[in-house]
């Protein structure tokens, strides 16, 4: 009897031990989940990986963009942070790394070099330490509803220069067409205007200059005054000051306005959020660069605003998270996004899989840009970035002078 009991206990202990050895490693991936088709594609990649990698289970945790932005600091401080987080790099990862919340994955750089260009790796280095990888490029430019623009008496070519665009605002308004849609409630879509104007007036290095020389420089003042001048024409839709991003891009998809200065994620989102679920017909939706033809034209009119969207690995994440990320960044995984027209993956060899003509154009424009400036609110970090968004909206609403804008941003930057 005693022997039987001891044997049973030994068997049970053995089972517990073997169970522990075979226990799955769970990798939690926190991401922006605004676009259903994007989520489905991610899930397909994850399902394939989970099936091919016994013992590892990757779980994605989608969150709305604004919610993720506001909740991330708290999540990072919790005892159970996600292993991989969606990130735009820049000031965000600098602050997170300084606080010790990101892993040092420099030892895996070679694995990433095999799948993405060095620029995508360098975008996620903080003081030489690798903390993640960029998997996607984003470009912000004019999205134009061409038939509506023409109906308002304006041709696409008229938008090539800033003066032409300013005249177009008047023409469109006089013909009863809302010139521009934006989202002053969420604020960040308005920052693209100020940032582009800074690039055109101040050149490719303007954001680094304001960080070191301060915001009260002639180029910033000029850009801020350009935005004030544009805002004075009241080009935006009624109620824009409290409009959130998704409803606003839905309005654009519904044909409520002729132009949206937005990123390439809008191609899908204008359709997803339109009342009919289809949005503007592909042939009617025209992508053109932000106007050039400024007196300074300091960036030769080719500088672009956008992002290098990627992933950061949090401190304490298992090596399996890094291994998964290397797979996720590779062409084998990213071609699924490219084939569906979901963004511009940075994976080596993915170009052949980009079939959507608009994304091919986006890819070409980024390649030709004299500079590709990261979103200002990301570049400056959460504190000064938040102030930048506030300032952009206040300038566009003619509620702040250029000098006040410079002073506000300087104060936010100094106290970040």
Partner 1 sequence: MATASRRLAFSASRREVRGWKTAAIFVAPSIILFTLFITLPVMEAGYASFFNWNGLRAPSMDNFVGLQNYEKLLSHKTFQRALSNTGLIIAAALLIQLPLAMAMAQLLAHKRIGSVTFRMIFFLPFILAEVAAGLLWRFMFDGDVGFISQINQALGGDAVHILSDKNLAVVTILIVATWKFFGFHMMLYVAGMQAIDKSLYEAASIDGASAWGKFWNVTLPGIASTIRLSVFFSILGCLQFFDLVVPLTGGGPLNSSHTIVSYLYYFGITRMRIGYGDAVGVTLFLVCVVVAFSYKKWIMRDD
Decide if 279 contacts 350 (C-beta within 8 A): no
Nearer to partner 1, 31 or 187 (CB): 187
- Rule CB under 8 A: say whether 54 interacts with partner 1: no
Taking the complex as a whole, the smallest distance from the CB of residue 383 to partner 1 amounts, in Å, to: 5
Among 150, 386, 403, 410, binds partner 1 (CB under 8 A): 386
What does the DSSP 8-state code read for residue 178? -
β-sheet bridge partners, residue 345: 136
Report the alpha-carbon distance of residue 252 to residue 413 in Å, rounded: 34
Interface mask (CB under 8 A) for partner 1, residues 155-194, using x and -? -----------------------------xx---------
Report the alpha-carbon distance of residue 278 to residue 272 in Å, rounded: 7
What 3-state DSSP class applies to 167?
helix
Question: Interaction with partner 1 in 94-153: which residues (CB under 8 A)?
Answer: 95-96, 98-101
Taking the complex as a whole, the smallest distance from the CB of residue 102 to partner 1 amounts, in Å, to: 10
Nearer to partner 1, 57 or 410 (CB): 410
Residues 6+ apart with CB under 8 A from 223: 194, 197, 198, 200, 201, 202
- Rule CB under 8 A: say whether 239 interacts with partner 1: yes
Question: Interaction with partner 1 in 250-289: which residues (CB under 8 A)?
Answer: none
Count of residues touching partner 1 (by CB under 8 A):
34
Report residue 400 as tokens. Answer: 């702040």
Report the alpha-carbon distance of residue 333 to residue 44 in Å, rounded: 9
Nearer to partner 1, 19 or 74 (CB): 74
Nearer to partner 1, 34 or 320 (CB): 34
Taking the complex as a whole, the smallest distance from the CB of residue 97 to partner 1 amounts, in Å, to: 10
Report the alpha-carbon distance of residue 302 to residue 35 in Å, rounded: 29
- Rule CB under 8 A: say whether 9 interacts with partner 1: no
- Rule CB under 8 A: say whether 399 interacts with partner 1: yes
Phi, psi of 125 (to 5 degrees): -105, 135
| Pairing assessment for the beta strands 25-32 and 56-63 based on DSSP bridges | parallel
In 159-290, which ranges are continuous DSSP H helix?
Answer: 162-174, 188-202, 206-213, 218-232, 245-253, 266-272
Question: Interaction with partner 1 in 14-53: which residues (CB under 8 A)?
Answer: none
- Segment interacting with partner 1 (CB under 8 A) among 192-200, 224-232, 328-336, 376-384: 376-384
Among 390, 392, 402, 405, binds partner 1 (CB under 8 A): 390
Nearest to 214 by CA among 37, 401, 368, 384: 384
Report the alpha-carbon distance of residue 225 to residue 222 in Å, rounded: 5
β-sheet bridge partners, residue 236: 180
Most distant pair of Cα atoms in the chain: their distance: 97
- Segment interacting with partner 1 (CB under 8 A) among 17-25, 173-181, 264-272, 408-416: 408-416
Among 23, 79, 212, 242, binds partner 1 (CB under 8 A): 242
Decide if 372 contacts 138 (C-beta within 8 A): no
- Rule CB under 8 A: say whether 376 interacts with partner 1: no
- Rule CB under 8 A: say whether 316 interacts with partner 1: no
Contacts with partner 1, residue ranges (CB under 8 A): 69-70, 73-74, 76-77, 95-96, 98-101, 184-185, 238-243, 381-383, 385-387, 390, 393-394, 397, 399, 411, 415-416
């Amino acid at each position: 009897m005693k022997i039987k009991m001891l044997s049973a206990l030994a068997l049970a202990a053995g089972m517990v031990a073997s169970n522990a050895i075979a226990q799955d490693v769970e990798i939690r991936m926190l991401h922006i989940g605004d676009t259903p088709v994007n989520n489905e594609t991610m899930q397909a990649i994850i399902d394939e990986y989970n099936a091919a990698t016994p013992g590892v289970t990757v779980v994605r945790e989608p969150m709305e963009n604004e919610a993720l932005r506001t909740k991330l600091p708290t999540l990072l401080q919790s005892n159970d942070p996600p292993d991989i987080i969606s990130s735009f790099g820049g000031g965000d990862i600098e602050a997170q790394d300084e606080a010790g919340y990101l892993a040092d994955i420099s030892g895996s750089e070679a694995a990433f070099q095999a799948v993405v260009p060095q620029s995508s790796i360098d975008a996620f280095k903080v003081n030489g330490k690798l903390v993640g990888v960029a998997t996607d490029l984003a470009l912000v430019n004019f999205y134009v509803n061409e038939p509506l623009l023409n109906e308002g008496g304006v041709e696409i070519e008229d938008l090539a220069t800033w003066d032409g665009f300013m005249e177009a605002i008047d023409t469109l308004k006089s013909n009863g067409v809302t010139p521009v849609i934006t989202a002053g409630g969420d604020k960040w879509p308005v920052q693209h205007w100020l940032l582009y104007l800074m690039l055109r007036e101040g050149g490719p290095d303007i954001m680094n200059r304001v960080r070191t020389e301060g915001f009260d420089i002639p180029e910033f003042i000029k850009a801020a005054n350009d935005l004030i001048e544009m805002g004075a024409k009241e080009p935006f839709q009624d109620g824009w000051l409290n409009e959130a991003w998704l409803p606003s891009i839905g309005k654009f998809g519904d044909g409520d306005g002729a132009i949206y200065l937005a990123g390439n994620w809008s191609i899908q989102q204008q359709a997803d959020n339109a009342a009919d679920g289809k949005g503007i017909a592909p042939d009617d939706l025209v992508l053109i660069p932000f106007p050039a033809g400024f007196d300074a034209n300091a960036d030769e009119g080719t500088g672009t605003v956008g992002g290098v969207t990627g992933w950061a690995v949090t401190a304490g994440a298992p090596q399996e998270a890094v291994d998964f990320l290397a797979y996720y960044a590779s062409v084998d995984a990213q071609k699924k996004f490219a084939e569906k027209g979901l963004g511009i993956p940075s994976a080596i060899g993915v170009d052949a899989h980009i079939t959507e003509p608009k994304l091919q154009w986006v890819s070409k424009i980024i390649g030709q840009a004299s500079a590709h400036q990261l979103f200002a609110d990301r570049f400056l970090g959460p504190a000064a970035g938040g102030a930048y968004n506030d300032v952009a909206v206040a300038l566009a609403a003619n509620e702040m002078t250029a000098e006040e804008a410079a002073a506000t941003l300087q104060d936010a930057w100094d106290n970040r």
